[in-house]
Structure 1
Amino acid sequence: MLLRFRVANHRSIRDEQTFSLIATPRRGEPRAAKPLRVVGVYGANASGKSNVLAALDWMIKAIKLSHTRWEPAEGVPRQPFKLSPTGPGTPSFFEVDFLHEGVRHSYGFEADDRQIIGEWLNTYPSGRPKKLFERDGAAEFSFGRSLTGELQRIRKLTRPNSLYLSCAASNNHPVLGAVHASLTQRVSFVQQDHKDQERRLLLAKYLLGDPAFTVVLNTLLRAADLGVEGAEVIEAPDETKFKEFAEQDPEFASHPEFEAAFRAIHAKVVLRRSSSEVRLSLDEESAGTRAWLSLIGQAMLTLRGRGVLVADEIDSSLHPLLSSTLIRMFKDSAINRHGSQLVFASHDTTLLGSLLEEEILARDEVWFTEKDDAGATSLYSLAEFHPRRDENIERGYLQGRYGAVPYLSFERIREILMEGIEQPR
């Protein structure tokens, strides 16, 4: 589980920003670090809320791919703040605090365009920091006494532009490999673009092949009141395409599992409508139906595996009641038995209020982004404003009480249009 994320000099984030996923203790409660299960980020268009999630995504991908995918001679493919002359020359900074095997860990690194200039991993088994390793510059390393294994061999294999944690996982270090897996295998990202949705629909198709998942997915489809009775996978083999592929790569086609894999990939998901026996393919369904099916499959895997689901524009093509249902799934301890987390960005202000007289998001579960005159993003929590328990958060946000909303003067827009549009004669 994630506890805190810090970032500086990435896209619109110029100065260091801290994103906390730890619950704010209520009056009389102990100040224990209790992870939040849901956190939402709000802000005006182009305020940087997506960049906060993208920064976490970039960090996770760097941990996963820097040793195996980054070209040795091409430096670090970072994305520094470009709206000031110092941005490209200033290092980028990333740090995440998380729970691994029930113990708090803190991992981070700094990088410029050429190389990693700092990297560290600490653990807190008894509340105090305990160093596992630290890197100062591209090649200077120090290791804690508790960390054993082929540390020096891995150090020699670590390139200036790759992360030691990435290299250690690639070389099967048992301790660092497990930490690496906690970050790279349990955190998944949802982008609202066609390619990513197709990936998630492919995942849903895979899950529909499992009878246990099929029951739950179909129940959630019916409960969404989309007019869909259920989904199923049907084989739709194109024999001509199958033969063409086999002729192009006969060696691959000779594999005993080739035909089964080919047919599974080319199988189709069809949905049964409640009012008809006719089955429609996903391509014939509405954007809302496709969005819901693609999200609930990813959410089910996250809930099942003690993971973190990071979703940009969670409200895209979804009715507010569906978005709120997804949030409530993660907040419900009976459903979310492993404490999985949902982190999302949204414009849907109804989630800030009460739907069906039930609070969706608590004060410490809401964060805002805002840009200053220089185009730099700042990130802050609703809890910093200490709103009253009975305060209408949705109305206050739209009125600009907490910032993070665009300033629009309709009167000024009206004046411009009246002056600029030629009046009919």
Structure 2
Amino acid sequence: MLRSFRVSNHKSLADLQELRLTRGSAPVAVPVTAVHGGPAAGKSNLVDALGQMRGAVLRSVTGWDPYAGPERAPHLGHTGRLSEFEAVFIAEETPYTYGFRLDAADVAAEWLYSHPRSRKRIVFEREGEAVRVGPMFEAARSGITALIPLVRPNALLLSLAGQMYAEALVPAYRWFETMLEVLDGTGDIDSVELRVGSHLSRSTENAARLLTLLQTADLGITDLLIAQNDPGYADYLRDLDADIAALGEQTDRAAGSAAYAAQLQLDSGLTAAQLARELTNMRNARDALYTRMVARRGVGLRLVHTGVDPVFTLVEESSATVALLRLLPVLLDALDAGKVLVVDDLGTQLTVEEADRLIQLFQNPETNTRGAQLVYTTGDRALVDRGNGRSARTRAGVWTVRRSDAGTSTLTMS
């Protein structure tokens, strides 16, 4: 769950802006958060900021130029000011606050706090080259101390710790890696086809559900076809899918029953959190294997239409069909895993009715059983207003972005 996101000095978001995804004093997560604004108001910059933060956590060690400054995009009028990013989220049932500040040359500051039982505990605080490890985290055991001399001035400690598997920092790193997905831009045909093919190939249930949603869009599509698995990979994929299904059932039981989780740990030495990590690792391995397979033979995605004999390739489909197929596998994967999904311009190329149907998947407790969250931007007020008649529990939180004459964007709750 993502509780809040704060950013300053990223593109048009010059001053500190905060997006909250909870309501009430509890705080209770809102399943859907809408960000509305006019053209060039800064909606996409907010999504880009979340993507920038996630990318920094995952790529600053391996993807950033070690001889250049951090990758950042400050407001053009404030290039000398620090850029700041901070997220408050729940990973492996523990609340965390993680953030960092970047200047033109280095990581100026970085911090990670945990909040078990609403008590703030310092995991680490970094100011320049100085790193302080919190007293509750035995630094020698967790491996943080060993990593401090290895982190570059222009890279994040959390990025290095996640890749080196420093146990105290793994939950926060893995949240950015596996529980947050940011979808911006339009996506190319090849990547859309790959995501659809991977989703369809995992199970017949996945295929039936995606096809049902596609058919309700009234695009004339009656079936989806993908190429048979390469014989050289088929056995591996079949075994992986069976193991993933079994481990998924075990993970669900451990999450839903404290007694079962305790017995599991007694029998296997694995906690429920470790079991969930292993499930994610297996799903990632499956995706990597499928990607390697289709690199040789192609996905072979074809769409069958009512009353039309030849099947269509994705290149031959309408922009509305491509837009919907780009969204559906990502939305369904987020619902299945309880992810936070951030989508820029959700309604692009879709009717208001169809976009609203997708949003309802997150607002309906029967289709959103794992607490997934959707954050989307739109310039269409009609799409936002459709959520106002729903129950207080599932009604979307609505924010508005406005751009000033000085070229800065301000985020306010509607």
Pairwise TM-score range, normalised by the shorter structure: 0.7 to 0.9
Which consecutive aligned stretches of 4+ in structure 1 deviate over 4 angstroms post-superposition? 257-260, 262-265, 357-364
CA distance in 2, matches of 1:142, 1:128: 18
2:278 maps to none
CA distance in 1, matches of 2:99, 2:291: 45
Once the 2 structures are TM-superposed, how far is the Cα of residue 285 of structure 1 from its aligned partner? 1.1
2:198 maps to 206
What SS does the corresponding residue of 1:315 show, helix, strand or coil? coil
Q: How does 1:174-189 map to 2 (within 5 A)?
A: 174-189=167-182
Query: Are 1:286 and 2:318 an aligned pair?
Result: yes
Structure 1 residues 62-83: Cα deviation after superposition (integer angstroms, max 9, x where no partner): 001001111211111211111x
Note closer, same or farther for the CA distance 1:22–1:258 as it changes in structure 2 (3 Å cut). closer
What SS does the corresponding residue of 1:3 show, helix, strand or coil? strand
1:95 maps to 86
Match of 1:297 among 307, 318, 329: 329
What SS does the corresponding residue of 1:328 show, helix, strand or coil? helix
Note closer, same or farther for the CA distance 1:262–1:322 as it changes in structure 2 (3 Å cut). closer
Query: Are 1:76 and 2:67 an aligned pair?
Result: no
CA distance in 2, matches of 1:313, 1:259: 27
Please state which structure has a larger fraction of its residues in helix: 2
Note closer, same or farther for the CA distance 1:168–1:263 as it changes in structure 2 (3 Å cut). closer
- Comparing 275-284 with 60-69, greater Cα deviation is found at 275-284
Alignment length, in residue pairs? 351
2:16 maps to 16
CA distance in 2, matches of 1:312, 1:258: 27
- Paired amino acid for 1:122: Y
Match of 1:315 among 328, 335, 347: 347
Note closer, same or farther for the CA distance 1:220–1:71 as it changes in structure 2 (3 Å cut). same
Match of 1:344 among 371, 376, 379: 376
1:144 maps to 134
Listed as ranges, the gaps of 5+ residues in structure 1 are 26-30, 238-256, 383-425
Query: Are 1:115 and 2:147 an aligned pair?
Result: no
What SS does the corresponding residue of 1:297 show, helix, strand or coil? helix
CA distance in 1, matches of 2:229, 2:309: 19
Note closer, same or farther for the CA distance 1:348–1:359 as it changes in structure 2 (3 Å cut). farther
CA distance in 2, matches of 1:192, 1:151: 36
Note closer, same or farther for the CA distance 1:312–1:18 as it changes in structure 2 (3 Å cut). same
CA distance in 2, matches of 1:374, 1:263: 48
Contact 2:32 2:373 in 1 (8 A): yes
Match of 1:373 among 396, 405, 409: 405
CA distance in 1, matches of 2:331, 2:88: 23
2:26 maps to 32
Once the 2 structures are TM-superposed, how far is the Cα of residue 234 of structure 1 from its aligned partner? 3.1
RMSD: 2.3
Contact 1:123 1:131 in 2 (8 A): yes
1:253 maps to none
Listed as ranges, the gaps of 5+ residues in structure 2 are 231-288
CA distance in 2, matches of 1:77, 1:260: 30
CA distance in 2, matches of 1:187, 1:180: 11
Once the 2 structures are TM-superposed, how far is the Cα of residue 272 of structure 1 from its aligned partner? 1.0
- Paired amino acid for 2:302: V
> Which has the higher Rg, Structure 1 or Structure 2?
1
What SS does the corresponding residue of 1:268 show, helix, strand or coil? coil
CA distance in 2, matches of 1:177, 1:18: 25
CA distance in 2, matches of 1:303, 1:282: 25
Query: Are 1:125 and 2:116 an aligned pair?
Result: yes
Contact 1:371 1:377 in 2 (8 A): yes
Note closer, same or farther for the CA distance 1:298–1:155 as it changes in structure 2 (3 Å cut). same
2:225 maps to 232
- Comparing 275-284 with 169-178, greater Cα deviation is found at 275-284
Query: Percent of pairs identical after alignment?
Result: 29
- Paired amino acid for 1:270: R
Once the 2 structures are TM-superposed, how far is the Cα of residue 169 of structure 1 from its aligned partner? 1.0
Once the 2 structures are TM-superposed, how far is the Cα of residue 276 of structure 1 from its aligned partner? 3.4
- Paired amino acid for 2:404: D
Note closer, same or farther for the CA distance 1:351–1:132 as it changes in structure 2 (3 Å cut). same
TM-score after normalising by structure 1: 0.78
TM-score after normalising by structure 2: 0.80
Once the 2 structures are TM-superposed, how far is the Cα of residue 136 of structure 1 from its aligned partner? 1.1
CA distance in 1, matches of 2:299, 2:29: 40
CA distance in 1, matches of 2:301, 2:389: 35
CA distance in 2, matches of 1:93, 1:296: 32
CA distance in 1, matches of 2:137, 2:190: 42
Contact 1:105 1:122 in 2 (8 A): yes
Structure 1 residues 45-74: Cα deviation after superposition (integer angstroms, max 9, x where no partner): 111111011111101100010011112111
Higher relative contact order (CA 8 A, sep 6+): 2
- Paired amino acid for 1:206: S
Note closer, same or farther for the CA distance 1:200–1:283 as it changes in structure 2 (3 Å cut). closer
- Paired amino acid for 1:145: P
Structure 1 residues 114-133: Cα deviation after superposition (integer angstroms, max 9, x where no partner): 00111101111121311111
Contact 1:271 1:281 in 2 (8 A): yes
Contact 1:200 1:298 in 2 (8 A): no
Structure 1 residues 297-319: Cα deviation after superposition (integer angstroms, max 9, x where no partner): 11111111111111111111111
Structure 1 residues 224-274: Cα deviation after superposition (integer angstroms, max 9, x where no partner): 11111021113699xxxxxxxxxxxxxxxxxxx999825765132111112
CA distance in 1, matches of 2:329, 2:213: 10
